[in-house]
Chains A and B, each alone.
Chain A
Amino acid sequence: MASAMEQLYQQVILDHSRLRSGERSLEHPHGESFQVNPTCGDECRVQVRVTERRLTELGWTGKGCSISQASLSVMHEMLEGESFDDAEELGELFRELMRSRGAELEPADQQQLEDLSAFTGVAKYPARIKCALLGWMALRDAMLQAQHD
């Protein structure tokens, strides 16, 4: 059986931390948010361009650990082009996963998480949950900014 650490560093996570899907700055974003993890100084900026409550473009820049960078990369793959409602629903599901202490969610939910289900093992390490959620905090804030525009 894989050790807790091997469950933490799923291949999907290691791959995405190198792939860095969506890492770019957007011209004229409708919303953007800069977030810092105070324990390590890791930071990310998420920018969104929006048409009728849909994330037509999602870009991010940042520096951080494999968990935080992979989380941003998966977020971009799953949410660019999707509606606000879908983004909010997936974000809520991911936050629920991070509160689960390493237990899987209901099968239907776990399936809906797609590549994000690889982060299940992160929730066993309280110090790393913030890493996984950093980009998602930024996304939620960037979407709020875009709505106020």
Chain B
Amino acid sequence: MSELLDVSGDFPLLGRTVREGKRLVYLDTGATAQKPTAVLDAERGFNERHNAAVHRGAHQVAEEATEAYESARAALAQFVGADFGEIVWTKNATEALNLVAYAFLNATLGLGGAEANGFRLREGDEIVVTELEHHANLVPWQQLAAKTGAVLRWIPATADGRLDTEQLDVIGEKTRIVAFTHASNVTGAITDVAPIVERAKRNGAMTVLDACQSAAHLPVDFHALGLDFAAFSGHKMLGPTGVGALYGRAALLEQMPPFITGGSMVEIVTMEETTFLPPPQRFEAGTQMVAQTVGLHAALDYLSDIGMERLAAHEDQLTALLLEGIASVPQVRVLGPTDTRDRLAVVAFEVDGVHPHDVGQVLDDQGLAVRVGHHCAQPTHRSFGVHASTRASAGVYTGAADVEAFIAGLHRVIDFFGVGA
């Protein structure tokens, strides 16, 4: 085992106490990550020196703001293995996924001219998702299917919360879109992307990856993975809320009609009609979240300084500690793989005889912040025969002492509700 990282001192919020003086043990990074001082300083510095609307105005501050905004795009493109023009800023990953779904809808409604032919759906076309999706990568596709007459199909989950690779033949010649998660926000299972992309390509379908959990914790390279689209959010990568991004293969972004329309994304507007800018501006309507992109840029620098390989190794050790600790509590069942192979430090579980809300409450009383509920993935929970769970998720700042406190907390839950063996 290599040394664990020790960077919690970079994160001001982790220095606070909760519930009458208890040390905060933050195990809810899967929902949102805490932010290092470098990110907070970058946002504040931008607002103090360079704040202006981007891509308009010819004054010096506007030039500086535009430069900051576009250099953040360049940094993000490099971070995820994309070209500069293939990164579209969105307010979060949900918007990024909807952007793609609405490109299909708008093209199907006749917008976008001949260029958008590849995005037109016909009745009987199929959209494939998986049983491990966050609602953000399920509901937009359900809606698209309902609006276009396309059929929604899915790759099921296995009993230990991975995608069932024996059932990839759901992807067939009628498939037009395959939308799937890179890593489940419930089970932590990391998807083997290659066979899915290969099967989608062979059948002429486009691929859309939900990279929210993966991009924040693993090295990712969208070009190397051969993807058409990928969506992710800044706040899970130590960046601010209010900024996310869509990666889209350049040739495809060119063909897509816009989603949100208005200012900043147009060429010529008359009272009758409008022509649109090329990507990525075509998809960035309205005043943008510039300070947040600057904060995210600082987060990417922070992660790059640590190194994503090193971060992944750190989190692998935490996964092992979490799984080992949980295995010592017989009343606890993990919803997901119980081995560390291809798995993030995201561990959802149920405690026999105790509802997740009650588990979370007793943990919270000890300063342990975990997620309770369905984590925006009701079908995933249903596949395990439960409707909610408790989830502990680690990050760059999580240490062995945090895991120890969490396992002690689980024992307290068992004692408190008297469900000991």
Spell out A's residues near B (CB within 8 Å): 3-5, 8-9, 14, 39-43, 63-67, 125, 128, 131
B388 contacts chain A at the CB level, 8 A cutoff:
yes
B239 contacts chain A at the CB level, 8 A cutoff:
no
What separation, in Å, do the CA atoms of A40 and B386 have in the docked complex?
11
Tell me if A64 and B355 are in contact (CB < 8 A).
yes
Task: Report if A3-B365 is in contact (Cβ < 8 Å); known contacts: A39-B373, A40-B373.
Answer: yes
Given A40-B356, A65-B355, 8 additional A-B pairs, CB 8 A:
A5-B362, A8-B361, A9-B361, A39-B373, A41-B388, A42-B388, A64-B355, A131-B357
Task: Report if A65-B356 is in contact (Cβ < 8 Å); known contacts: A40-B373, A40-B388, A41-B387.
Answer: yes
B324 contacts chain A at the CB level, 8 A cutoff:
no
What separation, in Å, do the CA atoms of A125 and B388 have in the docked complex?
19
| Least distance between A122 CB and chain B CB atoms (Å) | 10
What separation, in Å, do the CA atoms of A39 and B135 have in the docked complex?
13
B358 contacts chain A at the CB level, 8 A cutoff:
yes
Tell me if B362 and A66 are in contact (CB < 8 A).
no
- A8 nearest in chain B by CB position: B361
Spell out B's residues near A (CB within 8 Å): 19-20, 355-358, 361-362, 364-365, 372-374, 378, 381, 387-388, 416-417
Q: How many A-B residue pairs have CB under 8 A?
A: 50
Chain A residues positioned under 8 Å from B388 (CB to CB):
40-42
Tell me if B387 and A63 are in contact (CB < 8 A).
yes
| Least distance between B149 CB and chain A CB atoms (Å) | 29
What separation, in Å, do the CA atoms of A9 and B360 have in the docked complex?
13
| Least distance between A3 CB and chain B CB atoms (Å) | 7
Contact of A41 (CB < 8 Å), options: B19, B362, B364, B373: B373
What separation, in Å, do the CA atoms of A105 and B341 have in the docked complex?
55
Chain B residues positioned under 8 Å from A5 (CB to CB):
361-362, 364-365
| Least distance between A118 CB and chain B CB atoms (Å) | 15
What separation, in Å, do the CA atoms of A41 and B381 have in the docked complex?
10
Chain A residues positioned under 8 Å from B372 (CB to CB):
40
Chain A residues positioned under 8 Å from B362 (CB to CB):
5
Tell me if A41 and B355 are in contact (CB < 8 A).
no
Task: Report if A128-B357 is in contact (Cβ < 8 Å); known contacts: A9-B416, A42-B387.
Answer: yes
Give 22 pairs: A residue, B residue, CB < 8 Å, sorted on A: A3-B20, A3-B365, A4-B365, A5-B361, A5-B365, A9-B358, A9-B361, A9-B416, A40-B357, A40-B372, A40-B374, A40-B387, A40-B388, A41-B373, A41-B378, A42-B357, A42-B387, A42-B388, A65-B357, A65-B358, A66-B358, A67-B358
Chain A residues positioned under 8 Å from B416 (CB to CB):
9
Chain A residues positioned under 8 Å from B374 (CB to CB):
40-41
| Least distance between B384 CB and chain A CB atoms (Å) | 13
Chain B residues positioned under 8 Å from A42 (CB to CB):
355, 357, 387-388
- B365 nearest in chain A by CB position: A5
Residue among B373, B416, B417 with the highest chain A CB neighbour number at 10 A: B373
Sorted nearest first, the 8 A-B pairs with minimum C-beta distance are: A65-B357, A65-B355, A5-B365, A40-B373, A41-B387, A41-B374, A40-B388, A66-B358
- A14 nearest in chain B by CB position: B417
Chain B residues positioned under 8 Å from A8 (CB to CB):
361
What separation, in Å, do the CA atoms of A14 and B362 have in the docked complex?
13
Residue among A43, A64, A65 with the highest chain B CB neighbour number at 10 A: A65
What separation, in Å, do the CA atoms of A131 and B357 have in the docked complex?
9
What separation, in Å, do the CA atoms of A8 and B357 have in the docked complex?
12
Chain B residues positioned under 8 Å from A67 (CB to CB):
357-358
- B387 nearest in chain A by CB position: A41
What separation, in Å, do the CA atoms of A4 and B19 have in the docked complex?
9
